[in-house]
Each structure stands twice: as structure tokens, then as C-alpha cells.
Amino acid sequence: MSDRIFELLLARDGVLVLERKGPKSFRPRGSSPEWLSRCFRPAQIEVLTREPGEVFHFVDHFLDDAEAWWARGESGDLRSEPWTESAVTGEEIAMEACACLVEGHCYLILRGLGAEFARTQRVLQTGRELALAHERLQGETSKKEILLHCIVHDLNGPLSGITSAFDLLEHEKLSKEGLRILGLGRHAALQQSNFISDLLDTFRAEVSTLETVSTNAAACPDIVSTAASVIEALAPVSDCHETPIHIVLGPGTGAPLRVIAERNRLERIFYNLLQNAHRHSPRRSEIIITITREGDEVFVSVDDSGGGISPRVAPHLFQKFIRGKGHSGKAGLGLYFCRITVEQWGGKIGFESRQEGGTRFWFRLKCA
């Protein structure tokens, strides 16, 4: 490449090369960049290329450091921070300076940053704005978390008293009808407790969207034993409704069958789906959980014999605060929690109507 082409390329990149003649005195080398002729008058250009410190006050201060740097004869270069100059046209020019020593010659390089600097500034400004927005979001989240825990604390207090009263009544000599009413009370208390758990679980799931789940098989839950433990915990509700829950394992499926999930939240998914099935199933029917391994996934379905899903509700069923008809006591968070949790684990969830009547809720999770 010829020297002339090299000089033109430097000028095209907005670079002005000045060779030092004496203290703060220079002579131009090569072609002048476009910003020089566009933004300054000829008389100013002549001064700028001979004594740039007379035109650019920032350069005058930079040259104090550059003169000492050149005197030491160090290799490499000495760079300034970017600064902005006001041209006679009123245009603001972003610039940077560099002092270097090449084959015993001292050079001062002035570069107009132009669009590159503007892009960098926009990126930095966007970063600052995002950081401030993140801080504000964290602050709002903390306020909501404190408020939510205060509400949960206030709800749990009376509920603990109600549950304790039921425990004491259990030791009294109650009639058959009294025991039935006591069972209904316990069921209502359990529903209230689950409602509080839904609030907390949904909030935590939304906040911890990027939470990492272990893929180590030894640390992953067995989906069969998880379902069995939830069925055992729901036994009083099943007895009250006379609606037993059974687990059916697909061909070739056995325990343990570990999935990429977290045990506590997997239990909550089963709780929500089974309680939903109880609410919509007629008395003396049954609820069937089917667990089948399909390749590297586990397919789980929960079948009930209820009245099915209303066409009005169906398109929005897994959204927040969506409730089935006639169930004003629920907050509409259970299925929403199931969806966002299963999707966080890389799975899928859905529902379909059964030909025999009722509804099948299903979800898929990856095998550990």
C-alpha cells in the first residue's frame, strides 16, 4: 500500500496526524480529515495544524503530559479521554487525542469520533437508564414482598387459631353429623391455607423466573413418590368428597422416575391440579393420575369426571386471576402457578376435554 493511500484512509477515518517540531509546535502530515474543513475556517485550520493547543484548550493541557511522555522515550502511546469541541458552525465534535513515538519521531494524533462516539454514548446512556430502572424495580419488588408477607402473616394468625380449635373439637364426643361438619370446617381451613400458599408460591415463581434447577439425577425428585405423598396429604379431602385418587403407571414406567424439577414446587403443582379436580368432580367419582415415560420426557395427566371447562374460560385458563364459574372462593392463581413453573423447567402444560366426560389436565417434564 502506498503512503498516499494510507494517508487517505487515515483522513477518511477522521484522523489528523501532526508531527512535533518543538514544544507544542507541529506540522501536518498526510491528508486532512473531512471534519477539519467542514467545521473550521482556513485561518483556524492553519493555527490548529501548527499549534493545536491554541485552538483546543483540552489539547493544550494534554500536551503538558505528552511532552513529558515523549521526553521519556516510552513505547506504546498516551491517550486522552474523549472530549467535545464547539466548531464555528455550531456543531459539537467529539474528539480524542493520542501521543506516540515512531522511529524517533513524536506524533500527535487527533481523531474526530463522529458516529462511533455517538453510538457508544447511546449504549452507555441506555445502560445507565436500565441500571436505574433495575434499581427501581428491585425497590418496588422489595416493597411488594414486605407487604405480601405482612398480609400472609395476618391471614395465618386467625387460621392457626381455627385449626387449633378443630384439633380440640376432634377429642370431643361429637355426633355423626357433628363429625361431618367438623370435616367440612377442616376442609375450608385447608382451602384457606392453600390459598395463602398460592399467593406466596406465585409471587416467588414470578420473581425467580431464571432460577436454576439441578439436572443431577440424584438431586431431582421422583415424580411417582411426589404424587403419592400429595395424595396421602389430601386423603381427608378425598374421604370427605368420597372421591378417591389413584395412580396408574404407563407400560414400562416404574419408580423411581426422576424429572428435572424442584420437589416442593412439583408437590404444589400436584396439589393445585388435584384440588381443582376435587372441586369439579361429582361425589363418589374418582380421579386418576396417569404417569408415563415417553422417550426423554415424562407425561402426567390428571383426569376428573366433572362438567368440563366453560368455553368462556378455556382460552384464558392458565392466566392470572382466572376462575371457573361458581368458585368465587378461589383467587385464580393455582393454574397460573402451574403454567409458569412447568415452563420454567422447560416443560409444557395444557388441558383437554375427555370423551367420557370431564377434563384432563396434563403436563410434560424432562427426565433427569
| pLDDT tens-digit map of 259-284 | 999 888 899 899 889 988 988 888 88
Residues spanned by the domain of 69: 3-112
Q: Model's pTM, two decimal places?
A: 0.49
Over the stretch 123-136, which tens digit does the pLDDT of each residue have?
A: 877 888 888 887 88
Does the pLDDT value for residue 324 go beyond 70?
no
pLDDT in tens, 44-100: 888 888 999 888 888 999 999 999 999 988 778 899 988 888 777 777 788 889 999
Mean pLDDT along residues 186-210: 68
CA distances from 63 to 57, 77, 120 (A): 10, 13, 26
User: What integer pLDDT is reported at residue 3 of this predicted model?
Assistant: 64
One domain for residues 228 and 343: yes
Residue 299: what pLDDT? 95
327 pLDDT tier (thresholds 50, 70, 90):
very low
Task: Give the end of a domain, one of 112, 131, 166.
Answer: 112
Write down the pLDDT at residue 153. Answer: 60
Asked, for residue 171, whether it belongs to a domain, the answer is no
Which three cell numbers, joined as nine digits, stand for 139?
425497590
pLDDT of residue 225: 93
Domain count, the chain: 2
Q: Is residue 352 part of a domain?
A: yes
Residue 303: Cβ within 10 Å count: 21
Residue that finishes a domain, picked among 60, 90, 112: 112
Distances (CA, A) of 46 to 26, 42, 54, 91, 189: 11, 6, 11, 19, 89
Residue 270 in any domain: the answer is yes
Dihedral of the CA atoms 39, 42, 43, 47 (nearest 10)?
70
pLDDT at 137: 75
The DSSP call for residue 33 is: P
